[in-house]
Amino acid sequence: MSIVEQKLSSLTAAGQFDICAPGECIHVLSTAAHITYNRRAGGCGRMLKVLLNGYCSYDCAYCSVRVNRERLGFSPDEFAEAFLRLWHEDLVGGLFLSSGIPHDVDLVMHDLVETGEILRCRGYDGYLHLKILPGAARADIHDAARVADRISINLETTSSDRLGCIAGVKDYQQDILKRQAWVAEEKPEGHTTQLVIGAADETDAEILSCLAGQYRRVRPARVYFSAFRSLPGTPLAEHPDTPAWRARRCYQADYLLRDYGFTADELKASLDEDGFFENRDPKEVIAADMMPVNVNTATKWDLLRVPGIGPKAADRIIRLRKQRPFTGPADLARAGIGGQVAARHLTFGNRKGTIQTKLIL
Ligand code: SF4
């Protein structure tokens, strides 16, 4: 394996991206290193997720990069050369480029942006996602937004206090939220963020409040959740891992906030008394206490509160019931709407509400 291949393998694995094991060669890496995006939604197929620098002077307690002894890193030219080779061979279709912070943040941000600029100058027209580092300068965020399809800055957790417990060097207000506001101004439709669930012992109630603030202030295109995994050699090595299902419940709650018009307060009704999700779809938990909804007269807002009905299905119901009222689950099924789960929360009265038939299934 060449030195560049070794670096690519190590720096891909160093980011804990679950892409390949250290030591796998470049061709294994390039077939394993992928996130399969929906091409119809503008996805890029196999995406290489890699760090420009695999070591860091920061002290984030949950991060594997902080304990790396090996000072591996790419120069922008060197990385661009390696990536373009993979791309020309059609082994990768997109790039997610992040970095540890071995020295000055501005220098690392310059390198990230310069790498993107070299790739674009040399004809790379595929998907490019650049990570914005905490404390990045406004000018670098501007340049990253210009060269990349998407940019992101990680919140990591829900508040200054929580971040202070797991990443003492970063200032939540200054280094992250202030920079995220700049990110949103520079790339209003194309920025994302990420939370590490459970590392700072935050509750799901805190996560919901944090998400509501995100959609009110900066409207990220996506919020990603990763369940905390303890790593040997870090201060959180003995901290319990977060179950994967908790991240799944956070994703479901996030969809409800972003696409279904739920409020954080509504969603908090699905939490237990300690402020945590149980391992059930939050929408189903809330719907258990809800009055049945008349499918022929309900507003879109009401329909969206029924498990099994999403925004597209709600629009379809409203369109179809103008032609002919729904009379039972068979009509729902014919309209392609999720069978028994939805029907359990629906009635099929006529428009005047004279026939109320709640289905007991
Ligand atoms: S800034 Fe923190 S999370 Fe990012 S690479 Fe450095 S130690 Fe890891």
Query: CB count, 10 Å around CB of 132?
Result: 28
Does the pLDDT at position 335 exceed 50? yes
Q: How far is the CA of 337 from the centre of ligand 1 (A)?
A: 44
Token pair belonging to 103: 């020295």
Token pair belonging to 237: 């090595």
What is the pTM assigned to this prediction?
0.86
d(CA 273, CA 353): 38
Which phi and psi angles does 48 have, rounded to 5°? -85, 125
The model's pLDDT over 230-289, given as tens digits with 9 standing for 90+, comes to: 988 889 999 999 999 999 999 999 999 999 999 999 999 999 999 999 999 999 999 999
Q: Ligand 1 in contact with 63 (CB < 6 A)? A: yes
Round the average pLDDT of the chain to a whole number and report it: 86
* Range with the poorest average pLDDT among 44-58, 166-180, 245-259, 261-275: 44-58
d(CA 338, CA 309): 7
Q: What is the pLDDT of residue 28?
A: 39
End-to-end Cα distance, the chain: 61
* Range with the poorest average pLDDT among 2-6, 18-22, 105-109, 244-248: 18-22
pLDDT band at 21 (very low <50, low <70, confident <90, very high): very low
Does the pLDDT at position 1 exceed 80? no
Most ligand 1 atoms within 8 A of CB, residue of 60, 68, 99, 175 to mutate = 60
Does the pLDDT at position 44 exceed 70? no
Q: What distances in angstroms separate CA 114 from CA 106, 180, 217, one per listed residue?
A: 12, 21, 30
d(CA 288, CA 101): 48
d(CA 247, CA 255): 12
Whether the CB-CB separation of 331 and 343 falls below 8 Å is answered with no
Q: What is the pLDDT of residue 45?
A: 57
Q: Ligand 1 in contact with 101 (CB < 6 A)? A: yes
* Range with the poorest average pLDDT among 36-45, 197-206, 275-284, 340-349: 36-45
CA atoms within 13 A on the CB side of 37: 15
Whether the CB-CB separation of 355 and 327 falls below 8 Å is answered with no
Q: What is the pLDDT of residue 81?
A: 93
- Tell how strand 127-131 and strand 94-98 pair up: parallel
* Range with the poorest average pLDDT among 17-26, 281-290, 305-314: 17-26
Most ligand 1 atoms within 8 A of CB, residue of 17, 63, 133, 228 to mutate = 63
